[in-house]
């Protein structure tokens, strides 16, 4: 049994990490760190056998094997180093680090310490992303020419104080952009050219909340990625165009909403996309509905357990996150940041 602590119990800790760890028979949710009284009460109610403490320094390090850093982005690097110094394996939520240089320093520390380090890129297990991967394996597209991927929200007000901070690590490019860039790199490989537009639409936004990226992959595919927190009407979540056919899906993955509604990993309904939300594949008017591959965020933790037990690589190579950070840095430089 691998004993895991989750540091931070906001959206990331309470929705993405704790339920998946709790559901995995190879893992034990040994501790949760949160200083917020309401979140502490929520953690104690939902995980009565888990130790809940108020700060990172209160963790029982000698009784742990791994730490998940699910705190606001500005603390990711420092907590990652501290967990490695404590002799533990480390999962860092995205964005991995405010800069590629700091990310590489953390990777070097993990190598020197002989400890596993990985990044929580859970969107690799989105249903629509898995479906695109399956269509690619089937050769359904022929030669892919264009990949369009969007994550849009209607959030005209900033919801959390730390999101009102400026600088590297903050803004929708580092947040949702880290997911979309990672997906594009996983599907179509390294990028040769990057173009990006950054805007702040909300009056109180100190960073960016409306972003467009154009990536030219060495494979020849062009990726157009958009992330927007002020979108009053949503465009399709994903579209892939190829010489033999295209795939379009309007609706995004539902796992986050399911967990918030109490449908947890292990439930037969978890990750199952309803038929009205399936995407379509074909040419012109000749279309067929494509059942969405079941979403599976818990797969990250199954792969983590296997890696810690010596049965495979980490679920995400942290160098993949460095590649995404370098693209983010290039876009910010283009925009004078």
Q: What is the pLDDT of residues 272-329, one digit of tens each?
A: 999 999 999 999 999 999 999 999 999 999 999 999 999 999 999 999 999 999 999 9
| Averaged pLDDT, 24-52 | 97
Taking alpha carbons only, the member of 67, 72, 111 closest to residue 94 is 72
42-46, 49-53, 142-146, 166-170: least confidently modelled range: 166-170
pLDDT surpasses 90 at 165? no
Taking alpha carbons only, the member of 321, 17, 15 closest to residue 178 is 321
The pLDDT assigned to 7 comes to 98
The pLDDT assigned to 118 comes to 98
What is the set of domains in the chain, with CATH numbers?
A: 2-120 (3.40.50.720), 123-296 (3.30.360.10)
Retrieve residue 11's tokens: 């959206």
Could you report the per-residue pLDDT of 41-50, keeping only the tens digit for each? 999 999 999 9
| pTM for this model (two decimals) | 0.96
């Amino acid at each position: 049994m691998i004993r895991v602590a989750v540091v931070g119990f906001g959206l990331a800790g309470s929705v993405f990490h704790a339920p998946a760890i709790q559901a995995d028979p190879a893992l034990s949710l040994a501790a949760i760190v949160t200083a917020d009284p309401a979140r502490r009460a929520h953690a104690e109610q939902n995980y009565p056998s888990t130790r809940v403490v108020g700060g990172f320094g209160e963790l029982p390090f000698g009784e742990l094997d791994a730490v998940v850093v699910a705190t606001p982005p500005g603390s990711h690097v420092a907590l990652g180093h501290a967990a490695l110094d404590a002799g533990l394996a480390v999962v860092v939520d995205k964005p991995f680090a405010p800069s590629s240089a700091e990310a590489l320093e953390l990777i070097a520390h993990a190598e020197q310490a002989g400890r596993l380090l990985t990044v929580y890129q859970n969107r690799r297990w989105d249903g629509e992303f898995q479906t695109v991967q399956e269509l690619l394996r089937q050769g359904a597209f022929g030669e892919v020419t264009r990949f369009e991927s969007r994550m849009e929200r209607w959030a005209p007000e900033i919801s959390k104080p730390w999101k009102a901070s400026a600088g590297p690590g903050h803004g929708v490019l580092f947040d949702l952009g880290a997911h979309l860039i990672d997906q594009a790199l996983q599907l179509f490989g390294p990028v040769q050219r990057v173009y990006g537009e950054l805007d702040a639409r909300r009056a109180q936004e100190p960073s960016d909340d409306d972003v467009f990226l154009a990536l030219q992959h060495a494979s020849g595919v062009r990726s157009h990625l958009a992330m927007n927190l002020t979108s009053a009407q949503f465009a399709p979540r994903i579209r892939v165009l190829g010489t033999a056919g295209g795939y379009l899906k309007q609706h995004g993955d539902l796992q986050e909403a399911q967990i918030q509604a109490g449908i947890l990993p292990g439930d037969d309904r978890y990750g199952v996309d309803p038929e009205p939300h399936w995407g379509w594949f074909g040419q012109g008017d000749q279309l067929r509905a494509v059942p969405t591959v079941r979403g599976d965020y818990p797969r990250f933790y199954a792969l983590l357990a296997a890696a810690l037990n010596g049965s495979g690589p980490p679920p995400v190579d942290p160098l993949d996150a460095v590649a995404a950070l370098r693209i983010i840095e290039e876009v910010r430089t283009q925009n004078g940041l």
